[in-house]
Amino acid sequence: MITEALQHFRGVGPVRLAQLHEAGVRSWHDAVAAPECLAPSLRREIVQESERCLQALADDNIQYFVGNLCAKDKWRVLHQYLDRTSFFDIETTGLEYDDTITVIVCWHNNQLHTFVEHENLDGFLDLLDDVDLLASFNGSTFDVPRVLDGFHIPELPCPHLDLRWPCYYRDLPGGLKQVVSQLGIERPPDLQDVDGGVAVELWSMWQDHQNQAARDQLIRYCAADVLLLLPLADVLATRQPRIVSALWSHLPHVDSPPISTDAVTPGRAVAARMFGQGSPSRLRTRRRTV
């Protein structure tokens, strides 16, 4: 599948792509093996890029494909490397530049890894050293910039793929909740009404009152968003979707009753609706140092 990604070649749009297919050029292998089938004006560029792609494939250079394939073909990266993909999500104290990351959850090597501010948050960087491909939803705009600023690092040590755009080109627009809803995927009942605004409030309840149930519920909510990415990635990669009910067994349990969403103030609810709407400059943050 990934070798059929041709739309990132210079000069190849929808019309030219159809012409290449009609000429029998459907993959990088075809372009290298039969350059005479290519238009003279594009022949050198297409052959050279095909050779670079094949070399990147041989070298296991996932970053090359994440960085060079066009948005419409990014799903092919998932198809090729899905079994080696890790998924993550973060929670924060808000949207301001000096707000901090509170929780990070990552699905890696078939298990959930949880990192909490003031406890073990720096461990996430150690985990990233073992990640081949990191995936998120809207992470290129929100999660990744905050991780870079929060940990004061120039770039991630692994390639990152934002699933929001492959979804968009599969006619699955909107936020994660909207996308998975279109696919018939639902969170567990206790997380149905929890959103970004509630997540901020839960962290405040934990920090201000040491409410253990609030902490546990926050982690459970973040972990559920991470697990939702797995069947979504299956769909994008044209694989058989995983059984969602089986995934929920990986969620951490909350011993005490779930926190009521009634505790969220109107201001928090407004802030929650702003997620995904702010500019990248507003969404960036720096982690406080003590």
For 17-29, what is the mean pLDDT?
95
- The residues pairing with 25 across neighbouring beta strands, listed in sequence order, are none
Q: Which domains does the chain have, with CATH numbers?
A: 2-59 (1.10.150.20), 79-283 (3.30.420)
Contact between 102 and 116 (Cβ < 8 Å): yes
Q: How many whole angstroms separate alpha carbon 176 and alpha carbon 7? A: 26
CB 107, CB 242: distance < 8 Å: no
State the pLDDT at residue 255.
Answer: 79
DSSP structure class, residue 153? -
Look up the pTM and report it: 0.87
Residues in Cβ contact with 43 at an 8 Å cutoff, skipping those fewer than 6 apart: 35
| pLDDT tens, residue by residue, 243-280 | 888 999 999 988 775 455 454 443 444 334 444 433 33
pLDDT for 281: 35
The average pLDDT across 224-249 equals 94
pLDDT at 124 over 50: yes
Q: Identify the pLDDT of residue 145.
A: 94
CA dist., res. 73 & res. 75, Å (int): 5
**Single-letter code of the amino acid located at 70:** C
The pLDDT score that the predictor gives to residue 274 is 40
Nearest alpha-carbon partner for 144 in 130, 161, 131, 132: 161
Tell me the average pLDDT across 135-152: 95
What confidence tens digit (pLDDT) does each residue in 51-94 have? 999 999 999 999 999 999 999 999 999 999 999 999 999 999 98
- CA nearest to 282, candidates 93, 92, 138, 96: 96
Question: Residue 215 pLDDT > 80, yes or no?
Answer: yes
- pLDDT at position 49 over 90: yes
